[in-house]
Amino acid sequence: MSEHPALSSARSIRLATRTSGRTRLTAVIVACALFMQNLDSTVIATALPTMAHAFGIQPVRMNVTLTSYLLSLAVFIPASGWIADRFGTRIVFRAAIVVFTIGSILCGLSDSLITLVGARVLQGIGGAMMVPVGRLVLLRTAPRSELVAAMAWLTMPSLLGPVLGPPVGGFIVTYFSWRWIFYINVPIGVLGVVLITLFIDDAREPPRGSFDFVGLVLSGVALAGLMFGLETAGRGVVPPLWTETILAIGLLATAGYALHAWRHPSPLLDFSLLKLPCFGVSFCAMMLFRTGIGAIPFLLPLMIQVGFGDSALASGMITFASAAGAFVMKPAAQHALRLFGFRSTLLWNGVLAGVMLAMCAAFRPAWPVAGIYVVLLIGGFFRSLQFTAYNTLSYGDVPRARMSAATSLYTTGQQLAATVGISFGALALEVAMRVSGNHHAAPADFSVAFLAAACLSMIAAPIALLMPRDAGDDLTGRRAAAGDD
């Protein structure tokens, strides 16, 4: 007797969403590293005004502490895939956490902005190996049918960092020293090293050729030049000639790397991966979307503390709502993608995420806190669903042999977009201040910056129309369920 189609379809969906214990355990362990990184980035964003006061500089100048870390990530991430293949994922992952933890200690000991930026660069070197190699561990462990669920298991614990970061950072800054926002990484790092040693296999693939030193130098100079140039353009931080020279060097290095990558058999950043339909569309759209969203961690805490005049603790108790919305969304991600598909989700959810970001421009000191919470919660929900869809679909058509190269390229793009997003938000805020004639950022100036970031993120939504309607259906169980019908 044949099984009823409805029962068969339900059984197929349950099998598609079931996740093995090994996948869950690996995802949670990798998430410890992501938790530490996300906690660190959100805690420091809340503490920027207090740290600026301690160093005797304007708060808007403190965005260099965020961009220096993100720039360090972008420069060294390209090497992560080859190094993981050469030395093994467990060894590299564990060493990366150690470097990140040491960098955190040095951040806490810093006595000037220059020493803090140097320590943040060291943190970035550790993070450059920690995040992509951790994701590579999961991608090599989880079966293809469990990829969406694995990404949800990975990101749910790591989202505790952004949820806890703002209130914890605000509490520490208000009642203790800002230095403790870095020292809290130490026990988390120790726990991560122990769990990796006990439970993570030392998986590796044969590296594709020798290490691309020329590519690392060219990509590093290109990224550093472009990012530093964008960071200082029109802001009076350095003489204009310096900015123009560094931008020119960055552009020349970019052209040099493009030529090098075209000729090299196995470049660190393999742009031929963009020819893969799912990876190419997801990567390009993700870059635009993340650039707009990347302005939020800089603009939101600064608006509440500088624009509204609230304390760091009050800021942390408000800004955590955005991450809380993302945390609530994760259990629903697989169901939403199975119901609507990747194409429709990326299109319409991208528009909704941009609209919710634009609504932040309406925030004013007179707004009830509950109203701000609602906007941030809903916005965090939509943004998190968008990132889950991008992060999963991008690896849907990548062969296993090229997974490390894809992870390096995709993670580099993520960090590059986040760096540009912070620079874009800071530049938009400074331009608004100059136009309005304000010496200190007012709520209206933040409104202009938020609207600019929202417009940039919404440009990514229509790119989803370039993919077929059934893109990624085999990753969510839609195709299996349709076949049973």
pLDDT tier, 5 (very low <50, low <70, confident <90, very high otherwise): very low
Residue 4 is classified by DSSP as P
Report yes or no: 72 and 124 within 8 Å, Cβ to Cβ.
yes
Please give the pLDDT value at position 159.
57
What the block records as the tokens of 8 is 């068969």
Look-up: residue for tokens 């634009």? 358
Q: Helix 403-436 crosses helix 213-232 at what angle (to 10 degrees)?
A: 20
Report yes or no: 119 and 387 within 8 Å, Cβ to Cβ.
no
Domain locations in the chain as residue ranges: 17-212+264-484, 213-263
Rounded CA-CA distance 218/317 in Å is 42
The residue type at 110: S
Please give the pLDDT value at position 239.
77
Query: What's the pLDDT tens digit per position in 68-88?
Result: 887 787 788 888 888 888 888
Q: Element (H or E) spanning 392, and its range? A: helix 369-393
Report yes or no: 31 and 151 within 8 Å, Cβ to Cβ.
no
Comparing 96 with 474, which gets the higher pLDDT? 96
Rounded CA-CA distance 380/377 in Å is 5
pLDDT tier, 7 (very low <50, low <70, confident <90, very high otherwise): very low
Give the CA dihedral 63, 127, 32, 94, nearest 10 degrees: -160
Lowest mean pLDDT among 150-164, 243-257, 464-478: 150-164
Report the pLDDT averaged over residues 34-42: 77
The pLDDT of residue 1 is above 70: no
- Burial of 54 per CB tally in 10 Å (0-12, 13-18, 19+): middle
Comparing 160 with 461, which gets the higher pLDDT? 461
Look-up: residue for tokens 């290490």? 211
Query: What's the pLDDT tens digit per position in 11-30?
Result: 443 444 455 667 777 877 88
What the block records as the tokens of 467 is 């993919």
Report the pLDDT averaged over residues 474-485: 58
Task: Render the burial of 240-249: b for 16+ CB within 10 Å, e for the rest.
Answer: eeebeebbeb
Report yes or no: 364 and 443 within 8 Å, Cβ to Cβ.
yes
Most confident of 40-49, 257-266, 453-462, 472-481: 453-462
Rounded CA-CA distance 253/264 in Å is 16
Report the pLDDT averaged over residues 340-368: 93
Rounded CA-CA distance 301/165 in Å is 12
The pLDDT of residue 455 is above 70: yes
pTM for the structure as a whole: 0.76
Please give the pLDDT value at position 45.
73
Report the pLDDT averaged over residues 52-63: 79
- Which of these, 115, 111, 120, lies nearest to 56 by C-alpha position? 111
Lowest mean pLDDT among 121-130, 148-157, 379-388, 427-436: 148-157
- To the nearest whole percent, how much of the chain has pLDDT over 70? 85
What the block records as the tokens of 275 is 């020819």
**Which CATH superfamily is 17-212+264-484 part of?**
MFS general substrate transporter like domains (1.20.1250.20)
Q: What is the mean pLDDT of the chain?
A: 82
pLDDT tier, 458 (very low <50, low <70, confident <90, very high otherwise): very high
The pLDDT of residue 329 is above 60: yes
Please give the pLDDT value at position 161.
61
Report the pLDDT averaged over residues 318-337: 73
Report yes or no: 179 and 111 within 8 Å, Cβ to Cβ.
no
What the block records as the tokens of 240 is 């204009």
DSSP string, 222-286: HHHHHHHHHHHTTSSSS-HHHHHHHHHHHHHHHHHHHHHHHH-SS-SS-GGGGGSHHHHHHHHHH
The pLDDT of residue 101 is above 90: yes
Report the pLDDT averaged over residues 381-401: 86
Report the pLDDT averaged over residues 7-11: 40
Query: What's the pLDDT tens digit per position in 203-222?
Result: 667 766 778 889 999 988 88
Residue 285 Cα distances to 114, 126, 291, 292, 390, angstroms: 35, 27, 10, 11, 8
Report yes or no: 484 and 9 within 8 Å, Cβ to Cβ.
yes
